[in-house]
Chain A
Amino acid sequence: MANKDLKTTVQDNVIWRSIFRPGSIYRKGYRDTSRDRALASMNNVLYHLHPVKVKRHGLKLTYTYCLGGLSFFLFILLTVTGIFLMFFYTPAAGAGTELAYLNMRELSASVTFGQLVRNLHRWGAHAMVFTVFLHMARVFYHGAYKPPREFNWVVGVILLLLTLLLSFTGYLLPWDQLALWAVTVGTNMMGYTPVFGDQVQFVLLGGLEIGPSTLLRWYVLHVLFIPFVTVIFLAVHFWRIRKDGGISGPL
């Protein structure tokens, strides 16, 4: 069979074998046996996230609803679409040179797939806030924060906070009326922090009111600082899930 020959040709050579480790489902000779199923996990980069075997009840859609996994998927999707947007965006908003806003207009008018990617980024961001909320609720109702998972719940609350901050810092970037005033409402509240209110607001805004330096500041927070911190906490979150004995339950 020509098909068979092609498969052998592709798989049976030095380069292919160097890429796919023994047990990989893409390697020549993978068989659907217990041994190879175990190796498929063990010899895969995913072994950092998944053990060889998982509790059967964890597979049921109604246990996790995939919410944690989907939050992570949305985070990845937002990173990819966000990088695309960065190619066409300048965080500048000086009077008369509001490049940020003009770039957003150009994005939909003259960039191939520009509007689509922006939509994906926008709706994906809202969806991620939503799935993270729901994930937290499902974890609570399963009592999945009980020992030994207490600390992972705390890590989770920090992740929730980081997700909100990511979303909120992104909200300002289009530099339209919606962005400016939504952020004004939000940051006014922070100005009421006891004792340090004015200082907090000054640091957040990079000045006394929202202006070009706020935009630059929030841009850096949005595309670099908060994602960086989030990735670190995600790593801890995933690592703890495994060290705490995998998914909780069954109830």
Chain B
Amino acid sequence: MSDEVQIDQEVFDRLVAEGKSERIARAKAKAASVRKARAAEGVALGPRPAEQAATALEEFRSSQGGGGGVATKTAAPADAGGAAGGRLTPDQRAARVAASLGNGGGESASMGVPAASDHTHRLLALVPPAGIQQVQSKQMDKVYTWPHLLLVEFVALLAVGSLLLVMSFFLDAPLGSLANPNEVPAINKAPWYFMGLQELLRYFHPMVAGVTLPGVALVLLMAAPYVDKNPSARPENRKVANLAFTFFLTFWGILVIIGSFLRGAGYEWVWPWVQGLGFTL
């Protein structure tokens, strides 16, 4: 391959002579030749002082026209004088946290940043200036998963679990007589979630009710995010979408209710308080 990186033969020979394995020597020799090529292009290599981050960011902004947060020189703590080994004293840290919160102090460790603050947090990956990536997302009002979310989930799980247990204790699942292909029962219904389809079967040819309509509904459902181009998620901005979906759900719900409760023997219309409930879960 033409663009395979060449080996710097000189370095390779020297490393082999020093007793390095050939694999290591080859890797280092390749790196050396890359470094040489870069140096020839005038690209600076190696670690850079922190001020350069700010300069690079400025450069990026002016060339890309991007907005962005305020470049702070957090990379090189100039104020670290007092603390040993560049670490912050507790006071310095507290001051920095308070500053990043945009106010004097949050209520507790898990309270996060007030949603109203326009503080942004910035993930900055520093690579050669031409390739600076600036990823920004708005700081949101967040809480720790443990304990806040996990607690809510646990309670929800217990509530639904115990509800089901109580229900199962008092209500037995139905079991009719042995299946008999020669004896059509008087009341013959699909499970409730398919009753909408069975009800449609009353009005349309089976191919329309059983295949075409559910197929179209399914495709429309899957296509919804691609059809609905409205970027807003606020209810007041998407009245049409919400109305259409509500209509769809109501229509479907009514079909299921009719099919489940208002149809009896021979799938004829019944009033459950007169002829009894022809419905089994």
Contact = CB atoms under 8 A, between A and B. Distances in A.
16 contacts: A54-B149, A55-B141, A73-B161, A77-B161, A119-B173, A126-B281, A153-B222, A153-B224, A177-B183, A177-B185, A178-B175, A179-B179, A180-B179, A181-B189, A192-B206, A251-B233
A188 B201 CA distance: 11
Contacts, number: 224
B171 A55 contact: no
B144 A34 contact: yes
A119 B168 contact: yes
Interface stretch (B20-28, B41-49, B80-88, B207-215): B207-215
A179 B226 CA distance: 39
Interface of A: 25, 33-34, 37-38, 40-41, 44, 46, 50-59, 61, 66, 69-70, 73-74, 77, 93, 98, 101, 104-105, 108, 115-116, 118-124, 126-127, 129, 133, 137, 140-147, 149-150, 153-154, 157, 161, 164, 167-168, 171, 174-182, 184-186, 188-194, 209-211, 245, 248-251
Nearest to A140: B245
Given A74-B160, A120-B168, A176-B179, A40 B146 contact: yes
Contacts of A52: 144-145
Contacts of A108: 172, 175
The 7 closest A-B pairs by CB, nearest first: A189-B210, A143-B233, A119-B168, A150-B225, A122-B173, A180-B179, A176-B176
B110 interface: yes
Given A37-B110, A108-B172, A251-B233, 15 more contacts: A54-B143, A56-B140, A69-B156, A98-B178, A101-B178, A127-B164, A141-B242, A141-B245, A143-B241, A177-B177, A178-B280, A185-B190, A185-B198, A189-B210, A211-B181
A162 B173 CA distance: 22
B184 interface: yes
A182 B232 contact: no
Given A74-B160, A144-B233, A190-B211, A34 B188 contact: no
Contacts of B156: 66, 69-70, 73
A186 B193 CA distance: 11
Chain B interface size, as a band, is 35 or more
A102 B141 CA distance: 57
Contacts of A53: 112, 142-145
A7 B145 CA distance: 26
Residue of B142, B149, B153, B160 with highest tally of chain A CB at under 10 A: B149
B235 interface: yes
Interface of B: 109-110, 112, 115, 137, 140-150, 152-153, 156-157, 160-161, 164-165, 167-169, 171-181, 183-185, 188-194, 197-198, 201, 205-207, 209-211, 218, 221-222, 224-226, 228, 230-235, 238, 241-242, 245, 249, 280-281
Nearest to B153: A69
B189 A185 contact: yes
B193 A129 contact: yes
Contacts of A189: 197, 201, 206, 209-211
Nearest to A36: B146
Contacts of B172: 108, 115, 119
A186 B169 CA distance: 30
B245 to A, nearest CB: 5
Contact of B146 (A37, A56, A144): A37
A209 B160 contact: no
A121 B165 CA distance: 10
A70 B232 contact: no
A123 B149 contact: no
A226 B92 CA distance: 57
A142 B197 CA distance: 27
A167 B191 contact: yes
A192 B213 CA distance: 12
A194 B173 contact: no
A211 B280 CA distance: 22
A186 B143 CA distance: 47
B147 A37 contact: yes
Given A66-B153, A144-B233, A150-B226, A190 B148 contact: no
A210 B181 contact: yes
Nearest to A129: B193
B109 A33 contact: yes
Contacts of B148: 54, 59
Contacts of B238: 143
Given A105-B175, A115-B172, A251-B235, A193 B211 contact: yes
Contact of A171 (B141, B191, B231): B191
Contact of B142 (A56, A70, A104): A56
A129 B175 CA distance: 20
A154 B280 contact: no
Contacts of B115: 56, 250
